[in-house]
């Protein structure tokens, strides 16, 4: 409750405020990365990944066949081609669908 009260007093209840900066610093210190960046959703993180990976039309992206549509959309929006795979229980090897 103390942190909620602190955020209310600061009148900053959304991203990129004091607590976001604290999280960035904590992650950078404990993981040892140069810069941490939090996103508001996994979809946003996947879209950022597609940009950082420089996905271009025709690139194949391997992903599980049982996932949210936004997993594929992040890459399809940049022309990537999703390749859906699953795992066989008996061999634990990937099986393309």
Mean pLDDT in the chain?
A: 89
Please report which confidence band the pLDDT of residue 96 belongs to, taking 50, 70 and 90 as the band edges.
Answer: low
Q: Which residues contact 77 (CB under 8 A, 6 or more apart)?
A: 47, 50
Amino acid 56: pLDDT: 96
Q: Quote the CA–CA distance of 57 and 27 in Å, as a whole number.
A: 33
Read off the pTM: 0.68
Res. 3: pLDDT tops 80: yes
Rg from Cα positions in the chain: 19
Partners of residue 81 on adjacent β-strands: 60
pLDDT tens-digit readout, 42-89: 999 999 999 999 999 999 999 988 888 889 999 999 999 999 888 777
Q: Quote the CA–CA distance of 65 and 59 in Å, as a whole number.
A: 17
Q: In the chain, where are the structural domains located?
A: 1-38, 40-97
- Asked if 79 and 55 count as a contact pair (C-beta separation under 8 A), the reply is yes
Percent of the chain whose predicted confidence (pLDDT) is above 70: 98
């Amino acid at each position: 409750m103390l942190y909620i009260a602190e955020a209310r007093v600061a009148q900053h209840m959304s991203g990129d405020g004091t607590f976001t900066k604290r999280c960035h610093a904590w992650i950078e210190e404990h993981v040892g990365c140069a810069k941490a960046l939090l996103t508001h959703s996994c979809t946003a993180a996947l879209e950022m990944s597609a940009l950082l990976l420089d996905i271009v039309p025709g690139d194949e992206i391997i992903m599980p066949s049982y996932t949210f549509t936004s997993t594929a959309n992040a890459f399809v929006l940049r022309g990537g081609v999703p390749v859906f795979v699953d795992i066989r229980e008996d061999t634990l090897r990937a099986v393309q669908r």
